[in-house]
Amino acid sequence: MSSPAHRLDHGAEPITLQLGEDHADIREAVRRVCAGFPQEYWRGLEDGEKYPTGFIDALTEAGFLAALIPEQYGGSGLPLRAAAVIMEEICAAGCHAAAGHAQMYIMGTVLRHGSEEQKQRYLPEIAAGRLRLQAFGVTEPTTGSDTTQLKTRATRTDKGYRLNGQKVWTSRALHSDLMLVLARTTPAAEVKSKTEGISTFLIDIRAGLGKGLTIRPIQAMVNHHATEVFFEDLDVPADALVGEEGKGFRYILDGMNAERMITAAEAIGSTRWFVRTATAYANERVVFKRPIGANQAIQFPIAQAHVQMEAADMMVRRATALFEAGLPCGAEANMARYLAAECLWNAAEACMQTHGGFGFAREYNVERKWREARLARIAPVSTNLILANIAQNVLGLPRSY
């Protein structure tokens, strides 16, 4: 049965917004895969910060990580909304979608801006699971979110480019075959706009390790397999350049809307997990001869998280509908990401508070998901940066300093 739909007027073009449990067949298929990876599996990965190789292999075999790759390159050719649903259901099952989500939106840079030769060489291999494109080298220690000021340089050589610089918080670089890297090809002092002179490269990690490329793990509060990456005279071929030289910043921005929507859907899925888990425990836990869920101090935070989750879900649906229609969706993508991060944190807090001391016990799985929830307000984009973007670019308020 198809889901109810709502039509939005955006200029002269009406857009259909699917309501209810859309893509029910995909949701059920994702749930079946996730059922094979219970909470014990994820707890076991915490010691030693192990990578969920089995889970990623299962997602790849089911075709989920190739959802956005067109059929001509071996993928499923699904719309962005379907990809968001996949990530949402993974998180709603209590699994860890971030271990594989980057492959969905990183490959979009190659698909939209790469040469046909690059698409033919890489996309079928990624779709089949023979290559992993999971790493995205953008953030640097001294520049943080100000991507225009990055220090990593790529200088031309007779055979291609030579990279020097450092990236930080590059997740999954030690579990990826390929990595997208943003580097300056023209010094900032020599360009008219600070967004010019930045290029995107598709680096073969396997070929570079020990030959100018060094990757070191960063121990962190959450098991996101974060690393710092060092480039020391790393030579890469000319065909590692994606698109035109100097246009890389625009290419990255082009993919950020999809990233915002996919990670917002993940946050909604994790919120569903927290609301469901908190509700079940509040009904089962009896103190003073009645379920603790009878107390409004327990009820209200859970109910509030549920309400906020439904609102965030509607914004994700709106944003993906605009994206699929080829219409401007930057503001909607940012608002979806903000609402989802906030409802997730509120749900995590409600679930932790409902469980009380037992929330800190690993066997209840709340503390692991709680730690993951806190990250959503910082990465992949800070909620404060989103608010600044909305204030300045949507509301027309002065740029802050």
CB 269 within 8 A of CB 89: yes
* Residue 214: CA count within 13 A, CB half-sphere: 10
Helix, strand, coil tally for the chain in percent (to 5): 55, 15, 30
Calpha distance 242→380 (Å, rounded): 22
Query: Tokens 């906020």 appear where?
Result: 308
Catalytic residue among 88, 259, 342, 372: 259
Calpha distance 173→181 (Å, rounded): 11
- The residue among 282, 270, 364 whose CA lies nearest residue 308 is 270
Cβ-based burial of 261 (10 A; exposed 0-12, middle 13-18, buried ≥19): buried
The size of the chain, in residues, is: 401
Residue 222 CB: number of other CB atoms within 10 A? Answer: 19
Calpha distance 170→7 (Å, rounded): 39
Q: What is the dihedral of CA 48, 132, 98, 4, to 10 degrees?
A: -150
Whether 259 is catalytic is: yes
Q: Which token pair is 283?
A: 């009904």
Give the type of residue at 33: V
Calpha distance 156→163 (Å, rounded): 9
Calpha distance 183→166 (Å, rounded): 10
Q: Which token pair is 373?
A: 């929830």
Phi, psi of 186 (to 5 degrees): -135, 130
Catalytic positions:
259
